[in-house]
Amino acid sequence: MKEKKKSSLQRLFNYAGNYRYLTIASWILSVISAWIALVPFYYIWRIIKEVLEVSPDFSRAQYLSSYGWRAVGFALLSMLIYIGALMCSHLAAFRVQANMRSETMRHILTLPMGFMDGVGSGKIRKIVNESSEATETYLAHQLPDRAGAMATPVGLLVLLLTFDWRLGLMSLIPIVIAFLIMGSMTGKKMQDKMAQYQNSLEEMSNEAVEYVRGVPVVKTFGQSVFSFKRFKAAIDNYEKWVISYTKDLRMPMVSYTTIINAVFAVLIAAAFLFTTHGVTNTFLLNLLFYIIITPIITVTLNKIMFSSENVMIVEDAIARIDSIMEMKPLEESKKPQMPKDTSITFEDVSFCYKGASENALEKISLTIREGEHVAFVGPSGSGKTTLASLIARFWDVTKGRVLIGNVDVKDISSETLMDKVSFVFQDSKLLKTSILENVRMGRPNASKKEVIQALRDAQCSDIIEKMPNGVDTVIGSRGTYVSGGEAQRLSIARAMLKGAPILILDEASAFADPDNEAKVQRAFEKLSKDKTVIMIAHRLSTVVTADRIYVLKDGQVKEQGSHEELNARKGLYAHMWQEYNKSVNWKVGGVRR
């Protein structure tokens, strides 16, 4: 039997824990507040009644002041109860938001390491931050307001039908029509539109992050925003959606606004209809009272309408959170095995990215012996980084097997696998914390002395010396930053401290200047000692000393061998080496660069 899908409120209650009772309390208090807020109108009716009765000798009025203070007292009581409702709802909402974010982030940490690359950091940031924020606003304000808005019509109905049922029924005509129009604006079609809206925002946010990262290229080469076609396309898509959505809502919203504010017109028509035989004081009293109280109908219906729109926003936000929570971590072996050594074997490996039409890797078989230093080279998009990422199980292979020490990586526990493999990426990531803590991420229980030694081994002494607080300097604070090459050396220090026996260097010296590159290379020599090393490189001069070079193209290994062997074959690698040397030795105006 198919499990019934939980409502948005039930999903939010799952995150609330015992705080859900505060949410329920906020509804009850909001309903009580809404009903008490109607009591002052009864005293207004009493005031009008007394004024009409004593007119024109107003000195005979005895209870005007008493009625007025009672109205004020009930209004203040309603406000105090409503404040109590908001206190309860805010406590629950903050707890839900915190739990939602923490649970989502904990789940993200269990997902494959390739998850962030596949989804995009901008999209993840928007889902985690803005979707959870939407639920906080909904629970803290909109739910209690919705409860009060739903309770108000019940009290209003009693008031409208008590004093003059004919005027009351006439007042309900525009309300019924307005409800029908509201339904057309908050139905399934509009839910789909809201999902499209969030998709457009998500895409624009993701592309904005990528665009900001590329600003240095824009400034360097004088390119316009049109050079970033995906960002421009995301903006255009958002513009198209907004215009379409606005046009769809234009007529319903105009009709709704006109009709909901037409209660006065209905009352005036009713006054003409019911006073053909003269006006009595009682009718005049009730008409004045209805004219005073009917604006509450407009306010209440607007609250209900906007809360209905917010329900769609929250449902979409929860669906996006669920889209992450439903992603499955890589399966862990029930009987994990320990690799016998650090050799690496690819057995007939094929891999296809989710949603791609073609394999990124096709039937790759190769063996890297323990302690061997190998390199993956080839044109961009040939599959070098993908192949190396499968070793650390960023993704699972589509076909075939990847083995470390004759054990399938799927049968190695994630903790053991992470202890065995270190990655030094092309774009090193440093957190806004001290250099000490950034490096200590490699081994959280390492002492300060061990961290400093790793920094020395990674040729980072000059970086530490120029920092105002040495290793305790917080990167990114008070204008303290490091260059790309310096960040790379700090990442190498992190890998040194970790001490994993398998090391993967992904274009690790790509952003280094000549001085930094020399230090990075010395750090690599120290880091690579007695380890199995996989180097991914475009700069072929960095791989000439490798024990074996694998040349990839179109997701397949086309050649393999040492630098000398591959050059002697006059194949793909020899051509790449020749082109690389031409690029290194290019001249401008006869001056070698």
Q: What is the pLDDT of residues 286-320, one digit of tens each?
A: 777 777 777 777 777 677 666 666 677 777 788 88
pLDDT of residue 592: 47
Residues of the chain with pLDDT > 70, as a percent, come to 84
The answer to whether domain 344-585 has CATH 3.10.180.10 is: no
pLDDT of residue 221: 47
Short-list 438, 510, 442, CA closest to 472: 438
| pLDDT computed for residue 25 by the predictor | 93
Residue-wise burial string across 113-129, b where 16 or more C-beta atoms lie within 10 A, e elsewhere: bbbeeebbebbbebbbe
219 has a pLDDT exceeding 70? no
Among 92-101, 208-217, 378-387, 455-464, name the one with the lowest average pLDDT.
208-217
C-alpha span between 272 and 279 (Å, rounded) = 10
CA-to-CA dists, residue 227 to 107, 214, 230, 233, 357, angstroms: 36, 10, 9, 11, 26
Q: Do the domains at 8-325 and 344-585 have one common CATH topology?
A: no
Q: Token pair for residue 345?
A: 């074997």
DSSP-based three-state secondary structure for 551: strand
Q: For residue 187, report the phi and psi dihedrals to the nearest 5 degrees.
A: -85, -165
| Mean pLDDT, residues 177-188 taken together | 71
Give residue 401's pLDDT: 93
Q: Does residue 550 have a pLDDT over 90?
A: yes
* Cβ count near 222 (within 10 Å): 7
Query: 171-175 long-range CB contacts below 8 Å, 24 or more apart?
Result: 171/263, 171/266, 171/267, 171/290, 171/294, 171/297, 173/266, 174/259, 174/260, 174/262, 174/263, 174/266, 175/260, 175/263, 175/297, 175/301
- 8-325 under CATH 3.40.47.10, yes or no: no
Residues paired with 560 in a beta bridge: 550
Does the pLDDT at position 226 exceed 60? no
- Name the E strands within 442-526: 502-506
Please give the Cα distance from 398 to 107 (Å, whole number). 23
Model pTM above 0.85: no
Pinpoint the alpha helices (H) of 261-383.
263-274, 281-293, 295-325
Quote the CA–CA distance of 425 and 506 in Å, as a whole number. 5
Q: What is the mean pLDDT of the chain?
A: 80
Going by pLDDT thresholds of 50, 70 and 90, the confidence category of residue 587 is very low
pLDDT at 1 over 50: no
Domain residue spans of the chain: 8-325, 344-585
Amino acid at 167: L
